[in-house]
Amino acid sequence: MDCLRNFARGLGVAALGICGFVAAAPLTAAPAAADFRVCNGTQSLVGVAIGYRAADGWTTEGWWRIPATTCKSIKEGKLESRYYYLYAEDAEGRSRWAGDVDLCIAEDEFKIVGVQDCFKRGYQKMGFRQYDTGEQASWMVQLTDAPRGGTGTQ
């Protein structure tokens, strides 16, 4: 309030700049959010699915659509599991980020509890890549363009 009064008294642009800096300081001092974040370093739209161990069993969720050269939080808040599993593919079907841990997925948006009998339950089975977060509060995976072998890197 004093900043605005000083500005009104004619201290000019310098006082307005200082007022703006002081007013914005509390907004910039917030701690970074804890989450599992995926960054798409490719030039294509990427669909992402995640797997993790929850209280009611193994769970897979998808699809998060992550535009080219952007990041998105997949699980928000402090990570509850040490291990997370990720599967991703680009919209053109040219690149896939997969692993050797088989989990259930679906064509459309999904949340599936359980990893047994994917086909019998009407789902597909796909290999997910395991990420050991070391019990850290947050984690980030960087998807990059696929090398000639056809599987992208983390």
Choice between 8 and 78, residue whose per-residue pLDDT is larger: 78
The one-character DSSP state at 30 is P
Instruction: Return the pLDDT at 40.
Output: 96
Is the same domain home to 124 and 55? Answer: yes
Is the same domain home to 52 and 4? Answer: no
pLDDT-derived band at 88, boundaries 50, 70, 90 = very high
In a domain, residue 149? The reply is no
Residue 104 tokens, joined: 């259930």
Is the same domain home to 79 and 115? Answer: yes
In a domain, residue 154? The reply is no
Total number of domains in the chain: 2
Query: With contact defined as beta carbons under 8 Å apart, do 123 and 137 qualify?
Result: no
pLDDT over 50 at 150, yes or no: no
In a domain, residue 114? The reply is yes
In a domain, residue 12? The reply is yes
Element (H, E) at 4: helix 2-6
Q: Percentage of residues in the chain with pLDDT exceeding 70? A: 73
In a domain, residue 3? The reply is yes
In a domain, residue 119? The reply is yes
State the average pLDDT for the chain.
79
Is the same domain home to 39 and 26? Answer: no
pLDDT-derived band at 64, boundaries 50, 70, 90 = very high
Is the same domain home to 52 and 22? Answer: no
In a domain, residue 152? The reply is no
Domain boundaries, position 50: 35-143
pLDDT over 60 at 19, yes or no: no
In a domain, residue 8? The reply is yes
Is the same domain home to 63 and 131? Answer: yes
Range with lowest mean pLDDT among 8-17, 25-34, 87-96, 111-120: 8-17
Instruction: Return the pLDDT at 15.
Output: 40
Task: Kindly report the CATH number assigned to the domain that includes residue 126.
Answer: 2.60.40
Is the same domain home to 60 and 84? Answer: yes
Is the same domain home to 16 and 72? Answer: no
pLDDT-derived band at 63, boundaries 50, 70, 90 = very high
Is the same domain home to 133 and 79? Answer: yes
The pTM for the full model equals 0.72
CA distances to 52, 95, 101, 124, 138 from 85, rounded to whole Å, are: 6, 18, 8, 16, 14
Enumerate the β-bridge partners of residue 50: 61, 86
Is the same domain home to 110 and 134? Answer: yes
